[in-house]
Structure 1
């Protein structure tokens, strides 16, 4: 059976994106998509929350990465990003208000080298 995230359709359910692997350009498994963050006003997928590190799901780190930093690769059945493991580990720290903090969002997008989605 074909997994919905790997089908030829251009549409995919967010439920099927959750759990999809994320790889570096050289094929190193970096982590997986835990869930997506969607801007309610614009409808834009702002971030993919990527889980990485840990062991068997324990002590796993989660970092928001800009959705535009991911490209789906059907041959891998996952997303490829140019973000390195070191960049993930050094990403801007989050507090409880990160979702609504445009300064944090701008710093994060700038950290990953792309303009914020709202600009």
Structure 2
């Protein structure tokens, strides 16, 4: 299911792009978090990697920190969860999915977790390792620049 199908308030429904004006809704620059949960994640080779299970907000700075993505398994059995830095994802509005620039093998080896054993995402070392794995910068590092 993609964000247009989860749009209970009609914020992404425009008659046409030619008729769209600034009052036609917030997307895709601002999007409801609930509409993004369940969206597929593909890589740049258009291989499906998984889907968004949760969006994690950093309550200290008010920014989206991670998308928790599922990968592997069958019908929810044996799937692994991954915290992907939000900055590693790109919204593809044409195909209505997220793009994560990694191949499947890289994701298979990524630090993941079981749905019953979540990591301490507030731990600075864990955060540093996750950002290093995906080649992204932590918000704290960007703020210092």
- TM-score of Structure 1 vs Structure 2, range by shorter chain: 0.7 to 0.9
TM score, norm. by length of structure 1 = 0.87
Q: Does 1:45 align with 2:67?
A: no
Aligned match for 1:13, one of 22, 26, 32: 32
Ranges in structure 2 where 5+ consecutive residues have no aligned partner: 13-24
- Partner residue in 1 for 2:50: 31
Q: Does 1:117 align with 2:136?
A: no
1:97 to partner: Cα distance: 4.6
Ranges in structure 1 where 5+ consecutive residues have no aligned partner: none
> Residues 82 and 111 of structure 2 are in contact (CA less than 8 Å); yes or no, is this contact kept in structure 1?
no
1:47 to partner: Cα distance: 0.6
- Partner residue in 1 for 2:82: 63
- Partner residue in 2 for 1:98: 120
1:11 to partner: Cα distance: 2.0
- Partner residue in 1 for 2:73: 54
Aligned residue pairs: how many? 118
> Residues 33 and 50 of structure 1 are in contact (CA less than 8 Å); yes or no, is this contact kept in structure 2?
yes
1:96 to partner: Cα distance: 5.0
Root-mean-square deviation (CA, aligned residues, Å) is 2.1
